[in-house]
Amino acid sequence: MTPLSGLDAAFLYIETPETPMHVGSVHLYEVPYGERADFFERARHHLESRLHLTPVFRRRLATLPFDLAGPMWVEDRAVDLDYHLRRIVLPKPATLATLEAEVARLHGELLDREHPLWMFYLIEGLASGQVAWYSKVHHASLDGAAGVHLANALLDSTPKPRQIARQRRRPLEPTPGAARLIGAALRNGAGQAAKMLRYLPELARVLGGVAVASPERGPVHLRRRRTLSPRTVFNVAITPERSFATASIPLADVKAIAARHQVTVNDVVLALVSGALRRYLARHGGTPERSLVAAMPISLRAEGDKDYTTRATMVLASLATDLANPVARLAAIHASAGAGKSLASHARSVIPTDFPSLGAPWLLGVAASVYGGAQRLASFPPFANVVISNVWGPQSPLYFAGARMLTFWPVSIVTHGLGLNITVQSYCGSLDFGLIAASRAVPDIDKLVRALHAAYGELQSCAPSSTADLSQSASAPRANGRGAHVRV
C-alpha cells in the first residue's frame, strides 16, 4: 500500500460527473504507409512491454470504509489492456475538427476507479492518413511535469524502439482489508499532521520575508492579489459536455518576440491568450473594464524529481486585458507574472503538497459542492477567469512503436467557475496549445483559436516601445463593457 499525498487525494475528493479531474494529451503520428493496417497491434505490444516502467499503469485505488480518510494505491491485479487501450475509427474522411470533437466527448467521461486511473485511445480515419493517440490519466496520479516523464517512458528518440529489460513476474498481494486500510490511514494521517506542523513556522517566515523585503511595494502587491476577478462568460457553473480545440505556433517565432521585448516565452504565451480573450469577449458581452486574471500552475519540483505525484501550486497573474496596446499589455503581464513566480520561488521549499487526510473526503466534497452551487449566482465573483499552464517538453522528434510523433497537444481540466483551460506544451520546435472548455462556457471554441492566431500576428508585427510609450499606452482609453476598443 502507498498513501496518496493530501494534494493528490484532493483531486479525487472534488471530482464530480461535471468536473472530471483527469489530464491528457493528443498526438498525431505519421505511420509508414505499409504499416498502417497492423499499427494497433504493434502499438498494443509496444505499450505492454513498458507497463512496468511506471507505477501509474499498475496501481489502483483502495478506499476506506465510509471515506473516513484518503485512499491508498495498491497493486493487486494484472493490467487489463483490453480495457485500458481502445481503438476508434472515425467516419472517413475525418478532419481535425472531427478529431477534436471526439476528444472533447471522451474527455468529459469519468475514469472508472475500479481500474488503474488511465485510458489510451488510438483514433484512426483521419483524411490525412495520420493516426491520433489520445491519453487521459487522473491528476491524482501525476502533474504536468510527471506527465512528461510518463511520455518519456513510452516514447523513443529513434524510429527503432529501444531495448527494454523485461520485468520478472512477481506474485501480487491480496487487496488489503478494512482493518489494514484504517490502520495505514491513521499512521499516514499522523505523519501528515506532524509534517504540516513542521512546515508552518517556515512558511510564515518565508511569506513574512517576502513582504518585508519590499516594504513599499510588497504589501500593496499582496493586497492587489486579493482583488477579485471580473465575472465573464467563462466563469459559470458547468456541465459534463466539453469543447476542445488545438493550435500550434512556431517556438522560434515566440522566442523572437520574447527577445525583442525583453520578456520570457511564458510572458508571450500569456500575452497571446490575453489578446485572444479580448477579441473573443468583444463578441460575447464585451471585455470587462478590469483586467482578467489567470490562474497559473507553478511546479514545485526539485531538479531530478521524477515521482509520479503532484508537486505544484497555483499563482495568479493579471492578463492586462484592460490595456488596448499589445506591447503595453505584454509589459504589464511580464511584471505581474514575474511577481507571482517570485513569491512561489521564495516559498517553493515550504509550500505543502501533503496535509492530513482524516475527514478530508467529506470536508472537501462538501466544499466543492457548495462552491459549484455558488457559481450559479451572478453576484459570486471568481478568484480567476481562466487557467493557463505552460509545460516545457522535448525538442527532438519522438517515436511510438516506430511512428513519428508530430504534435503534443495537452488536454487539461475545467471546473465550476473556471470553464476554460489553455495549456501549452513545447515540442520539437513548436508551441502546441490545447484549449479545453465547458461547452456551456465556450460553445464556439474554434473562434477562440482564430482569435489566438490573430493575437499572434499582432504581436509579431509589434516593434518594441520605449518606457515613455508604454506609460502613455497604459493611461490611454481602456476597453469598456461593450468591448469598443477591440477589433477582431
Query: Pick from 244, 214, 216: which is nearest to 99 by CA?
Result: 244
Query: Pick from 37, 107, 148: which is nearest to 408 by CA?
Result: 148
CA 308 vs CA 134, 290, 374: distances in Å: 20, 39, 33
Query: Which residue is listed with cell 471530482?
Result: 15
| Phi, psi angle pair for 23, to nearest 5° | -115, 165
CA angle 452, 455, 459 (to 5 degrees): 140
Upstream peptide bond of 161 is cis (omega within 30 degrees of 0): no
Query: Which residue is listed with cell 518606457?
Result: 467
- Which residues have a Cβ under 8 Å from the Cβ of 394 and sit 6 or more positions away? 148, 151, 152, 427, 428
Query: Pick from 107, 465, 437: which is nearest to 273 by CA?
Result: 437
Tell me the Cα Rg of the chain.
Answer: 23
Q: Residue 262: exposed, middle, or buried by beta-carbon count in 10 A (0-12, 13-18, 19+)?
A: exposed
CA end-to-end distance (rounded Å), the chain:
55
- What is the Cβ-side half-sphere exposure of residue 233, based on CA atoms within 13 angstroms? 21
Give the active site residue among 22, 107, 139, 284. Answer: 139
27: left (phi over 0), alpha (psi -120 to 50) or beta: beta
Residue 139 designated active-site? yes
Give me the long-range contacts of 121-124 (CB less than 8 A, separation at least 24): 121/85, 121/86, 121/87, 121/88, 122/39, 122/40, 122/43, 122/85, 122/86, 122/87, 122/88, 123/88, 123/89, 123/90, 123/99, 124/40, 124/87, 124/88, 124/89, 124/90
| Phi, psi angle pair for 214, to nearest 5° | -130, 80
CA angle 287, 291, 296 (to 5 degrees): 115
- Asked if residue 305 lies in contact with residue 311, where contact means CB atoms within 8 angstroms, the answer is yes
- Asked if residue 126 lies in contact with residue 91, where contact means CB atoms within 8 angstroms, the answer is no
Residues tagged active-site: 139
